[in-house]
Amino acid sequence: MKDIYILGVESSCDETSLSIVKNGCEEIKTVVLSQIDIHKQYGGVVPEIASRYHVQNITLILEELFLDININISDINAIAVTYGPGLNGCLLVGVEFAKVLSYILEKPLIGVNHIAGHIYAGGLDGKITYPAIALVISGGHTDLVYLKKAFSFEIIGSTLDDAVGECYDKVAKILGLEYPGGPLLDKLSLLGEDNYKLPIPLNDDSYNFSFSGLKSAVLNLVHNQKQRGNDVNKENLACSFQNVVITSLLSKTKKAINDFGVNTLIIAGGVSANTGIRKVFTDYTKNDKINLVIPKINHCTDNAAMIASAGYYQYLKNDFSDYTLNANPNLKLKKEDE
Ligand code: KG4
Ligand code: ZN
């Protein structure tokens, strides 16, 4: 079969990224321009500022993308772009950019769901087989997804309140860490001991999660200690927090894997970069002989390679978009037959 090259475009939040992926799994080149240093000073992403930087950066990285590779822009078979979920203004920049490229190059346009992109990031570094369960853990999502077959997504559980990445960032803020605190809290937890007692959230039989109570428990603990004139040990609190998060994610995921009788677990989204989560899930899947598909660190957080990878499977199904494609900040994953 002829090789298929997909150009991926990602701009849903604060990373502007372009990538070329061959046959859905072979990454030719990816450029990611992060705006973290700009948004740090505000303690979070400012949507209007993020959109403006996407406009400024996207054409610059297009030039960089084709430097030092043996592929011409005319070799590209299709343009795949994130059109949701995400920040409206940010998504619009990527969508309009992709439409222009598609029109000029006379190549098809493929609208990709950002979460499907995270799930298919695993395909860049491992082999996805079906049926599978995907645990999606990012700044905006915490979902358990059942994939009966390729590109058929059934959400079987979700967070009832905060996403796990959001909880990491909020707890990090309580501990005085910079935005985004998730990676810093992860590092801190490796230096501590699990000796603060925190409640395991939504410890029930459902596939759902809840993280806002855990965040409040950390906040109350810090306040109580302060009132008593005690310092909290940040390393130990980070370690205890991370262990509770892992316990919750692991128990719900194990239940889904057993109930649905699947043999492949995909872990996806920015929080899958977490050291503790990677270790515990690697141990569990090794023991239970489950095929763990987890992206390499650079494919965990937002990047366009994952969008190009997901776009490839849509290309194979002739799932193309026309120029009415628009940003959809609340786009949901779908089961194929819907
Ligand atoms: O997937 P992502 O790049 O953006 C969204 O689509 O949301 O995820 C970003 C989230 C942030 O909340 C960030 O703090 C969290 O992923 N994150 C981590 C780690 N690396 C990134 N959380 C915990 N441990 C990490 N090592
Ligand atoms: Zn993401």
Q: Using one digit for the tens of pLDDT, what is the confidence trace for 288-313?
A: 999 999 999 999 999 999 999 999 99
| E strands in the chain | 5-10, 15-22, 26-34, 78-84, 109-113, 132-137, 142-147, 154-158, 264-268, 291-293
- Which of 98, 150, 121 has its CA nearest to residue 25? 121
Rounded Cα–Cα distance for residues 117 and 153 (Å): 12
Protein residue closest via CA to atom 10 of ligand 1: 139
| Mean local confidence (pLDDT), 97-114 | 98
pTM greater than the 0.85 cutoff = yes
Q: How many A from CA of 95 to the centre of ligand 1?
A: 23
Omega of the bond leading into 180 within 30 degrees of 0 (cis)? yes
Q: How many A from CA of 139 to the centre of ligand 1?
A: 5
Contact yes or no for 80/8 (Cβ under 8 A):
yes
Which of 271, 302, 331 best tests ligand 1's pocket when mutated (most atoms within 8 Å of CB)?
A: 271
Q: Using one digit for the tens of pLDDT, what is the confidence trace for 14-54?
A: 999 999 999 999 999 999 999 989 999 998 899 999 999 99
Percentage of the chain with pLDDT > 70?
A: 99
Q: How many A from CA of 301 to the centre of ligand 1?
A: 6
Can you tell me which atom of ligand 1 is nearest the CA of 187? 26
Protein residue closest via CA to atom 24 of ligand 1: 274
Q: Which residues contact 68 (CB under 8 A, 6 or more apart)?
A: none
CA 195, distance to chain mean position in Å, is 30
User: Given the structure tokens 């769901």, which residue do they identify?
Assistant: 113
Q: How many A from CA of 40 to the centre of ligand 1?
A: 14
Residue 182 has pLDDT above 60, yes or no: yes
